[in-house]
């Protein structure tokens, strides 16, 4: 089936395709329907039009990332990672490290939810912010795992903090831009 011809309306952002909707005889249609399709165009879907669900989940991710910064600082000061053996079982105190891992897992899952909600809503701004935030969160999770596997390598700790900073920046910029509705 051929694509319907697009006719330009008076509005530069609206297009009206010509769709025949009745019995046709030759090149003539008895009735036509021209539904109005709003084309967003670059910059039309901004952070201001984002749904409350995306903002709510992004706020939870931001709160989780702030908690991760605080837990990470406390973990760096108080938790001893053994040089050999099982790093998680040998770490003392384990509760603080377990809380750090649990909050990090929540942040990773919630970042995936924000990405899914942004994709479902077709919000270009939030898709970009959620992509950057998700990549930062996944980088932090990966480096957190490598930090334990390498028994406290400094490069893994610095990269984990850098991923957290990138993710936190993406969500803060997204939330700061999400005024109104």
Report, in angstroms and rounded to the nearest whole number, the Rg of the chain calculated over CA atoms: 25
- Torsion angle of C-alpha atoms 151, 155, 156, 161, degrees rounded to 10: 130
CB 64 within 8 A of CB 107: yes
Q: What is the pLDDT of residues 16-36, one digit of tens each?
A: 455 555 555 555 555 544 444
Q: What is the pLDDT of residues 54-87, one digit of tens each?
A: 999 999 999 999 999 999 999 888 888 888 878 8
Strands 14-17 and 6-8: antiparallel
Q: What is the mean pLDDT of residues 152-164?
A: 94
At 92 the three-state DSSP class reads: strand
7-21, 88-102, 117-131, 157-171: which has the minimum mean pLDDT?
Answer: 7-21
- Please give the span between the terminal C-alpha atoms of the chain, in angstroms, as a whole number: 40
Cis, peptide link before residue 149, omega less than 30° from 0: no
Highest mean pLDDT among 79-83, 96-100, 117-121, 167-171: 167-171
Query: Is the model more confident about 153 or about 24?
Result: 153
Q: What is the pLDDT of residues 129-149, one digit of tens each?
A: 999 999 999 999 999 999 989
How far apart (Å, rounded) are the C-alpha atoms in residues 78 and 73? 9
* Total residue length of the chain: 181
Task: Locate 52 and state its tokens.
Answer: 């409350």
CB 111 within 8 A of CB 134: yes
Residue 46 has pLDDT above 50, yes or no: no
Residue 181 has pLDDT above 60, yes or no: no
Full-model pTM: 0.69
- Residue 174 is predicted with a pLDDT of 92
- Residue 145 is predicted with a pLDDT of 92
Query: Is the model more confident about 59 or about 177?
Result: 59
């Amino acid at each position: 089936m051929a694509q319907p011809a697009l006719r330009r309306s008076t509005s530069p952002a609206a297009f009206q395709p010509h769709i025949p909707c009745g019995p046709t005889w030759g090149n003539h249609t008895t009735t036509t329907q021209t539904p109005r399709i709003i084309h967003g165009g670059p910059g039309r879907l901004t952070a201001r039009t984002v749904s409350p669900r995306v903002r709510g989940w992004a706020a939870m991710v931001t709160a989780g990332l702030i908690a991760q910064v605080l837990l990470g600082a406390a973990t760096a000061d108080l938790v001893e990672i053994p040089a050999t053996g099982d790093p998680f079982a040998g770490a003392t105190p384990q509760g603080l490290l377990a809380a750090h891992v649990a909050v990090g897992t929540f942040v990773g899952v919630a970042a995936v939810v924000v990405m899914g909600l942004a994709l479902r809503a077709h919000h270009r701004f939030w898709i970009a912010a959620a992509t950057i935030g998700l990549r930062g969160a996944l980088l932090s999770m990966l480096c957190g795992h490598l930090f334990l596997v390498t028994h406290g390598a400094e490069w893994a700790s610095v990269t984990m903090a850098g991923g957290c900073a990138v993710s936190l920046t993406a969500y803060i910029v997204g939330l700061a831009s999400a005024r109104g509705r």
